[in-house]
Amino acid sequence: MHSPQLTRTLQKKAAMAKTILHKADSRGQADHGWLKSFHSFSFAGYYNPERMHFGVLRVLNDDWVNGGMGFGKHPHDNMEIISIPLEGDLEHQDSMGNTTVIRKGDIQVMSAGTGVYHSEYNKNENEPVKFLQIWIFPNKKNVSPRYDQITLNEAERKNKFQQVLSPNSNDEGVWIHQDAWFHLGTFDNGISATYAIKKPGNGVYAFVLKGSFKLDGIEITNRDGLGIWETEEFILTSSEDDSEILLMEVPM
């Protein structure tokens, strides 16, 4: 917990920040029967000129895939693609020769670079798979395609931020070709934590996975997104037990 004086100082700094709130029910929606997807930013059949991206964060899709179904082989290039499973088992295959399964507690990254084909399927026939699909514009084009996944220790995010992605291959979590940092946190009711921006000029897009929080004095709840920038740090406070959040720090 912070001292009252420090809390007031941080709140004053945060009050000078710029923010944008995307409520969960304002997202684009697609229902293909086997696939239900919610788009925080314009994607496929959903186009909103006010919701094209947040800095270099281009896509944040909240996907739900029926048992045994999935995305057939399709191409990508010059994009950093991150998958975070929330429930179930997602099987990945790609033109680099990888065949893997990712589950809750894992994080997967693919640098598409000069070009790669991949497919994603629900490995189970009798239960859905739920996952976040995130696309980041890279800071280097036409790199050699690359794939990686790791299993995270979820206990390391209890009432604090666990780094799960960075620009550095020798740092915690996976890495990408961009000056971006992702953190996950699970918080008890009333717990506060300060997030300090890693690189000047970056902003943070906060996405609530479960429960509710207050960030920069703004209430955000399940599947709401809140972007904050032009600040050095901010305070996040949980409003209920077992609240989960993903923070995506990206260049603006």
**pLDDT (tens digit, 9 = 90+) per residue, 193-212?**
999 999 999 999 999 999 99
The dihedral through the CA atoms of 221, 222, 225, 229 has a sign that is positive
Task: Write down the pLDDT at residue 216.
Answer: 87
Task: Write down the pLDDT at residue 15.
Answer: 61
The SS3 assignment for 14 reads helix
29: pLDDT strictly greater than 90: yes
Distance CA 103, CA 119 (A): 16
Task: Write down the pLDDT at residue 235.
Answer: 96
Which helix or strand (DSSP H or E) is residue 6 part of? helix 4-15
Mean pLDDT, residues 178-204 taken together: 98
Task: Write down the pLDDT at residue 7.
Answer: 56
Mean pLDDT, residues 151-160 taken together: 96
Domain map (residue ranges) of the chain: 4-251
Task: Write down the pLDDT at residue 13.
Answer: 55
Nearest C-alpha neighbor of 181 from the set 197, 168, 165: 165
Domain 4-251 coded CATH 2.60.120.10: yes
